[in-house]
Amino acid sequence: MTSPAAPAPAAASGNPLPTDWTTPDEVPPFDLIKPEHFRTAYARALAGHETEIAAIKAEAAPPSFANTIAALELSGRALARVGDVFHLLTGAHSNDALLEIEREMAPQMARHWNAINTDAALFGRVDALMQRADALGLDAEQKRVLERYHTGFRRAGAGLDDAAKKRLAEITERLASLGTTFSQNVLADEQSFALCLDGKAELAGLPTFMREAMKSEAEERKLNGHVVTLSRSSAEPFLQFSDRRDLREKVFRAFAMRGDNGGATDNKAIIAEMVELRAERAGLLGFEDFAHYRLDDAMAKTPAAVRDLLDTVWARARRTALADRDAMQDLVRETGGNFTLAPWDWRYYAEKLRQRRCDFDEATIKPYLNLDRMIEAVFYTAGRLFGLTFTPRGDVPVWHPDVRVWQVRGRDGRPVGLFFGDYFARPSKRSGAWMTSLRDQEKLSADVEPLIINVCNFAKAADGEPTLLSFDDARTLFHEFGHALHGLLSNVTYPRIAGTSVATDFVELPSQLYEHWLEQPQVLRRFARHYETGEPMPEDLLQRLIAARNFNMGFATVEYVASAIVDLDFHSLPAGAAIDSTAFETKALARIGMPDEIIMRHRPPHFGHVFSGGGYAAAYYSYMWSEVLDADAFAAFEEAGDIFDAATAKRLHDTIYSAGGSQNPADAYKAFRGRLPSAEALLRKRGFAGPAIAAPASAAH
């Protein structure tokens, strides 16, 4: 295995970032990397990239694929290497020094890339190639890479006049700074909260496994007793099980108000400015609003197409959620409660309603969902589908002692890449779960094997005890590993289209599709085993779990779809609109008839998908758009009569998981399935199939 474009040795400063790494698989030597190394490494890498770009622009020969597109693909390797390490650490194991550098680097990086992506000379070379693409003798992958570069330059504003480019550069830099500040504010609010509990009264209702995890968290933070944090894997189970309504309210309000507490970490003014700048940017590029700009290069193409899907699902989900609400209010009265169900009550009474309707509770299931066994299930599924094997590696550098590494090999026994699992919540880690990489697959500079990472925030058990997952946690594990497979199985030549470099509303297909295998009886029978006895989950419990997979689906869908609608509403505003983010949120939710007892899954002040850099700005709908695809895609295995059908799995591998962005996403899906799907498969999957339901009158757009 060879790494891309090995950097020259560094000066005698002892900075390991610009040097050749002699570590196993050339993984970054994390034990040697210090925060102070990044400024020097970034400066050197930025200068090197500028020199490479200048050489491409100065090329005397007429533009060719080799001297322009391939040259662009080969440029910036040192910069990418430094950035991959830096962004991993700022997300998964940060500190004040790294966060300070992140604030400094965000506008610098935006300025650097904006200068390249709007460069008239570079765009002129790319445009000249695009105009005669059919005469260049390019293969299909090369044509796609050329098209992606041309689209990227055009959407970045390379064709604008100098005044517009100047303003666009200012907007780009400012947005980068705002996105960094937004995410750091949320992190600060999460780090500052720790609800310490002790004594039977405050722990009432909490299962043993939760108490052990909360005690472990207290020890991690050097606190006494048991601690609830604002990690989703800590806060949500507490809301689900705690008998103390006053404490549930306290945790809920802290969780819901991240980024919305006034003072230095408040994000509301940042939201207003970001939305305004994005609208202005879209206008400079010839679009009526940011949503139209963003969706122009997505599968959905238009906001209207997205709203059609969201409104269809919203009406059905809302009806289901309201029926569940009424049933839970009855439970409140039955158990002597003299109060109206509130948002901090929903998960608690939903758990009681599930016990009544489905004859099991989360505490019954969790002992069978040992993290180590669920990791085995994830790997087993990949082995059955794609012939992969996973062998632990103890010789590879890692950024935290909890990180685990596996060597991944293909059906032929040859190395595919390395997979890193960073599973546990800690104060130095941002909330949520994500897939990232330290190196992407490619074949241009050499046959490069990827280094792929899953980062999660599961509540870690006490020393010597196994970490137990909720079913939602296990689903997250499968989801993120689906992304990891997209990176590991990538088999393309050019980095531009490798792995997850696909449209945002297509990138969730491989991850959401992979979740389906968790719910399959033959997988659960094999891996859902009691952490103490090793006994498999009783068959009647397994069947009840599967039968109840759509329990509370109205709630889950409402909180998600509301977030997607509000995101789209924000980014459908024209430039110059005055924005009060709280008033806007309130009005948008009133218009669609949001139940009072449910809040958005991500309220705007902590909506990192949309405002921590904007990867999902005007595109949070993508999870549901991809779910239309994944529900239909899994049906292909069901129709084959085998959830591991070899022919279907090979087609899935070849057209989706290994193909990266080498095709238009619609063409890629049709290559797998033979057609595009309708929303019916999604509605069936979520339990919403049936006659169409009109949306509330207030939801009209």
Residue 11 lies in a domain: no
| Distance separating alpha carbons of residues 62 and 390, to the nearest angstrom | 47
573 φ/ψ angles, rounded to the nearest 5 degrees = -75, 145
Residues 298, 53: Cα–Cα separation, whole Å? 28
In the structure encoding, which two tokens stand for residue 96, read together?
């004040």
CA distances from 342 to 248, 328, 329, 555, 661 (A): 10, 11, 10, 13, 45
What pLDDT was estimated at residue 547?
87
Q: Residue ranges of the alpha helices (H) in 132-267?
A: 140-156, 162-192, 199-203, 208-220, 232-241, 245-256
Q: What is the dihedral of CA 175, 88, 438, 116, to 10 degrees?
A: 20
CATH for 93: 1.20.1050.40
Could you list the active site residues? 480
Q: Please give the Cα distance from 384 to 643 (Å, whole number).
A: 10
H or E element that contains 226: strand 226-228
CA gap 296, 281 in Å, rounded: 14
Query: Residue 45 domain-assigned?
Result: yes
Q: What whole-number distance in Å separates Cα of residue 445 and Cα of residue 447?
A: 7
Please check whether residues 242 and 373 belong to one and the same domain.
Answer: no
Q: Are residues 376 and 524 in the same domain?
A: yes
Q: What range defines the domain where residue 92 resides?
A: 24-117+119-159
The whole-angstrom separation of Cα 303 and Cα 308 is 9
**Same domain, residue pair 537 and 411:** yes
pLDDT recorded at residue 8:
46
| Of residues 291, 270, 296, 284, the one with CA closest to residue 114 | 284
Which of 204, 230, 257 is the endpoint of a domain? 257
Low-confidence ranges of the chain (pLDDT < 50): 1-12, 694-701
Residues 215 and 87 in one domain: no
Last residue of a domain, one of 240, 257, 274: 257
587: Cβ–Cβ under 8 A, 6 or more apart, which residues?
Answer: none
Distances (CA, A) of 571 to 233, 347, 506, 520, 590: 30, 31, 20, 39, 18
Determine the Cα–Cα distance for residues 630 and 515; give it in Å rounded to an integer: 9
Q: Is residue 442 part of a domain?
A: yes
Same domain for 217 and 148: no
Assigned token pair, 100: 């300070």
Distances in Å between the Cα of 132 and the Cα atoms of 10, 65, 153, 281, 663 are 42, 11, 17, 30, 19
In DSSP terms, 415 is beta-bridged to 409
Q: What is the CATH number of the domain that holds 404?
A: 1.10.1370.40
620 found inside a domain: no
Are residues 52 and 112 both part of a single domain?
A: yes
Residues 392 and 497 in one domain: yes
Residues 126 and 234 in one domain: no
| Residue 64 domain-assigned (yes or no) | yes
89 and 235 both lie in a single domain: no
- Which residue in this structure is represented by tokens 């300070």? 100
Which residue among 499, 527, 547 closes a domain?
547
* Cα–Cα distance measured from residue 18 to residue 8, given in angstroms and rounded to the nearest whole number: 7
> Does residue 483 sit within a domain?
yes
Whether residues 154 and 206 fall in one domain: no
Structure confidence at residue 11 (pLDDT): 43
Same domain for 82 and 229, yes or no, is: no
If one counts the domains in the chain, the total is 3
For residue 71, give the nearest of 54, 56, 59, 58 by alpha carbon: 56
- DSSP assignment of 483-535: HHHHHHS---S-GGGSTT-S-HHHHHHHHHHHHGGGG-HHHHHHH-B-TTT-P
Residue 81 lies in a domain: yes
- Has this prediction a pTM greater than 0.85? yes
Residue 611 resides in a domain? no
b/e per residue, 483-497, with b = 16+ CB within 10 A?
bbbbbbbbbbbbbbb
Around 588, how many Cα atoms within 13 Å sit in the side-chain half-sphere?
Answer: 24
> Does residue 390 share a domain with residue 467?
yes
Beta bridge partners of 405: 420
Strand-pair partners of 409: 389, 415
